[in-house]
Structure 1
Amino acid sequence: MTGPDPKALLARGQRMFTDLNGGQRMTAVVAVLAVVVGGFFFVRWVSTPAYAPLFTGLSGSDAAAVTSALSDAGEPYQLSDGGQTVMVPQADVYAQRVNLAGQGIPAGGEDASGYSLLDQQSMTSSDFQQKVTYQRALEGELAKTVGAIDGIQSAVVHLAVPQEDVFTSDAAKPTASVLVKTAPGKALSQQAVTSIVNLVSGSVPKLAAEDVTVSDATGAVLSAAGGATGTAGGDARQSQQRAVSDAAAAKLQAMLDKLVGPGKAVVTVDATLNFDAQTTDKQTYLPTKPATTTQIQKSTEKYTGAGAGAGGVLGSGTAGTTGGSGNYSKTETSQTNALGTLKETSTSTPGKVERMSVAVLLDSAAAAQVNSNSVSRLVTAAAGLDPKRGDVVEVTAMPFDTSAAASAQKELAAAAADAKQQNMIDLAKTGGLAVLVLAALVFGFLRSRRRKGGDEPEELEYYRVPDAPAPADAVLEMAEARGLPMREPEPQLATVGAASVESIARENPDDVARMLRGWISEGAS
């Protein structure tokens, strides 16, 4: 059994369309177009596969290798995230991942650098080639190690290792340079920079930490040679200093807003912090009463002996004295008394507030209602200022310029009004269109019911389809030959669905377009 003839169906549809009024024709045209367009997009949406990430965070060389392998395999793919992510149909993700892994793709930098370079050396490599290859392998391994730190997307390490010479006593020291590329939205902390310096210096013989330079992809020096801290340390200190200033300013601003009203006072705080670490040792002796003796030392010396005669020259003079004795005694006493001892060790933590300056600007209209001295005392007490360390507070009253704020407020109100008006216009357009479509549908429905409910003219004689099986086309030709109007059986026409309309439109696009133009022109007339 053959299907319906497309040309016959088009002829029937055209005759049915000519019997409709203008509103019904427009409704029919819109319905047919909606079915065709909706079916087209639905088929396209259903036939488009869902894509899922195959690999993410790829380097340029790895992404090129992956896409080349997928192209050779005839697998569709999409690139996203600036070419760092390759996406394939979701059903093929695991199969393609296993297939590419069998080909060693992506390399991930493991086969192109690192200790794998040592496996590629030949037996005829010279000593210089072996040293250069080892240095490249060490640089690759260090780059992968640094790249594993959280927040680092990739890293490049360059080593400058001088050649050892046995005839030179003062050899040059090795140095290293590290270039890191941080992940989007990530920033390296000083701790991470220090870790990079220590990792590199600890992996190269005779490489000191102060000979390692770390920079980021923007050209900022994070750690310079010589141990100087670069942008990372400076940014950390500035951030801490700014945090202290902002916290004090916010506290004072909240207090002044309650005192003089919001927008009538401005507070600026400048805090200077001391980041030097100091350690102080202090020892104090505490005497006790009565004194406590801890040690007594006594020494005595005694000597006893016979005395000798006075010597002289023999002659006519006086004779020398004979006989006599001598004694010697010495005593020393040493006493040690205990004293109380107090030892104190104090360490100052970096980041102590060394000096703070506070400036308060009041609106002259609000300042007339408060006392400037009272405001100054309140600010001094609230901020914890100490005049002995050089803290300064200044309170000044001046008229505020509110023209910019008023203009901005007017522009904001105007923008809000325009947005509200535009929303109302869009809503009115949508509502009007919906009302028109609904009115057209209701009008067409009422007209069709009015036609069906009216009395049919008696002079019209309808041709009845005979019971004998006859083709529908032959019956139509017979009716047209007799000049009789033909009433189409509605159940048969209802069997023509959206699928048949879409099939006819695809097979006979020119005829469908010609028919639609005719319907539209007739509806407009």
Structure 2
Amino acid sequence: MAEQVQTSEIANAQLANKGIVSSIGNSLEKLRKFSNEPAVQRSIPVMITLFVIFIGMILFLSFKEPSRTTLFSSLPEHEKSRVIDVLRSNGIDVSIDSTTGEILVPSPEYYEAKMKLAAEGLPSSIPQGYDILEKIPMGTSRSVEFMKMKQTQEIELARSINEISYILGARVHLAIPERSVFVRNSASPTASVFVKLADGRVLNREQVRSIVHIVSSSIPNMSSDNVTVVDQYGKLLSKPENDPNIALTEKQLNHRIKIESLYRERILSLVSPIVGAGNITAEVNVEMDFTNTQTTEETFDPESIAPRSEQNSLDESTDRPARGIPGAVANQAPLAADLQIDTPVEGDPAEFKQRSSSNVKNYEVSKKLSTTVGQIGKIRRVKTAVLVKNKAVESPEGIVSEPISEEDKEKISSLVKEAVGFNGDRGDSIVVTSGDFIEEMDLISTKWYEESWFQNLIGQISTVLILAIITFGALKPLLNRILVPSAGVGAGGAGMSEADLEPEEAEAEVEVQEGESIEDIKAKLKPKKTAISAEMLDTANTYDDKVAVIRMIVGDEAGKVSNVFRQLMKKDA
């Protein structure tokens, strides 16, 4: 009994397997018939081409490095380590620029990285200025509110200055006096800016001036002269723009550089035709005196005089000697009875006279007043150095270099003297020498196969090779099999190919002899289950036999025959 049950189970399993195999075979047969449809056959090349292009794009994008964007331009080192850890833990491909040390992320993931860091409260070293205003509680005094507003302005100005190149960090300090209606003249606001520069970087005057104007334009009534910029080394970068000494110094330096460049160009243009272009170099040092002197001189010419006015005066007076008794009160008038009148005696020898005279003459003397202003930027001394490349001379040992002769040096020196206006009295000097010129070489030599352009070229060539292999190795043979038509069938011209009429598996062939009837042919085909060939139409004797052969073909290969008729109908249309 157990053996019967086991046998039945085995039989059921075999039947199930046969059912599965038959279902798979039916599915494959349906798929094969579907693929033999003309529309499917025409669409296969297009689908394969699109598939190859898709694979090529995937390979190209896999070899191409994605573009990256700087996440934060100026972060402290401790902040960078925390930011990198958070980004890597969230699966973001983060890298560090080897030149600037900035954090780089792929451009498509830029905003996602910002959101991930914001969720972790990073970076904490870059506060948001306007967030302070949102945290002001109700009932805050005016002074506290004013300080919060000033702090907000400082933070926002510092963030703006941080965006300038080569600035790693910035702090802004504002001194803004509170306005009051009881004060007539209030103090002007001032500002101080502290910047931390990258190693080896400096800010030019235009960048410093831009920082000054950013701050002064953001604060009402602030003058640009009241903004001070200092770097991490304590160096004052900002100078008053209206300082005449600074402006004069820049003009003097530019004037000196212009004269030195003019002399250098004269020397090169004059000597280069003799020794050859690129075989000479020259440097000129011009010492200039920018002292501003003013001399005023007043001179008189004693030879050139002319009388202008003359004045004569005479003074004459007569005096008498003193009379009376010595010791008497002479100042009191005597009584009338006792008054005695002395009558003068003519010819009194005691009288004397005083006489004085003066004569004054004024002369106009010629006067000369001259003011001399010294020349600004006067050349005090000119020093010139000229270096000429050695001559290349052929010798038994090969081409060697020899210094130029003394005669050539004298000729070059004479030309240089005329070009710069040589003056020995003021101490000018000229030095002409020769030497070998060494070609410039890169300090850090990178191997050619390590260059970025070579790596990109290798990636592009690899992509092209892979596409070529796929195209010529797989796509081209497949297209040839599909697009190249096979030989036509039979003399009937039904348009049916041998591939359409032959089965996939090899089958035994049946020889058809002349004179055989259709019944004899059927008797040969049935035992061997051989497919009907189109050649049987040629061997059929009568019209009825040919019709019977065609019916047999249609009955065995109905799908292929229908495809042939569809193609014929499309051709006729």
TM range (shorter): 0.3 to 0.5
Q: Which has the higher contact order (CA 8 A, sep 6+)?
A: 1
**Structure number with larger C-alpha Rg:** 2
Normalising to structure 1: TM-score of the pair? 0.39
Normalising to structure 2: TM-score of the pair? 0.36
